Amino acid sequence: MIIKKLTLKNFRNYEDLSICFDSKLNSLCGQNAQGKTNLIEAIYFACLGKSFRSSKEKQIIKWGKDYSKISLIATNEIREKKVEVVLQTSQKKAVKMDGLPIRRIGDVLGEIPIVFFSPDELKLVKESPEERRRFINIDLSQTNKKYFYLLSRYEKVLDNRNKLLKTSKDLETLKETIEIWDKSLANIGFKIIKDRENFIKKIEPFAQKAHEYISGGEKLRLVYKKPDVDSEEEYLKKLSKLVEKDFKLGYTSFGPHRDDIDIFLNEEEVKSFGSQGQQRTVALSLKLAELEFIKEQKGEYPILILDDVFSELDKNRRTRLMKFTSRCQTFVTTTDQSLCEGKIIKIKEGKTETIS
Ligand X SMILES: Nc1ncnc2c1ncn2[C@@H]1O[C@H](COP(=O)(O)OP(=O)(O)O)[C@@H](O)[C@H]1O
> Of 39, 11, 16, nearest to 27 (Cα)?
39
The residue from 4, 9, 36, 161 that contacts ligand X (CB under 6 A) is: 36
- One symbol per residue from 62 to 101: x for binding ligand X (CB under 6 A), - otherwise; what is it? xx--------------------------------------
The answer to whether 9 contacts ligand X (rule: CB under 6 A) is no
Secondary structure class of 230 (helix, strand, coil) = coil
The item of Mg ion, ligand X, none sharing an interface with residue 33, based on CB under 5 to 8 Å by kind, is ligand X
Q: Draw the binding track, 91-120, toward Mg ion (x: CB under 5 A; -: no contact).
A: ------------------------------
Asked if residue 108 lies in contact with residue 141, where contact means CB atoms within 8 angstroms, the answer is no
298 with 198: CB under 8 angstroms? no
Give the nearer residue to ligand X in terms of CB position, either 31 or 319: 31
| Torsional sign, CA 104, 106, 110, 113 | positive
Identify which of residues 51 and 76 has a Cβ nearer to ligand X in the complex: 51
Q: Give SS3 for 54.
A: coil
Considering only CA atoms, which of 62, 65, 64 is closest in space to residue 42? 62
Interacting partner of 137 out of ligand X, Mg ion, none (Cβ under 5 to 8 A depending on kind): none
Single out the segment in contact with Mg ion by CB under 5 A; choices: 30-38, 105-113, 126-134, 239-247: 30-38
Which of 25, 30, 109, 147 forms a contact with ligand X (CB under 6 A)?
Answer: 30
Alpha carbon distance 48, 345 (integer Å): 24
Give the residue from 295, 302, 221, 262 showing the smallest Cα distance to 132.
262
Residues that bind Mg ion (CB under 5 A): 36-37
Binding site for ligand X (CB under 6 A): 12-13, 30, 32-38, 59-63
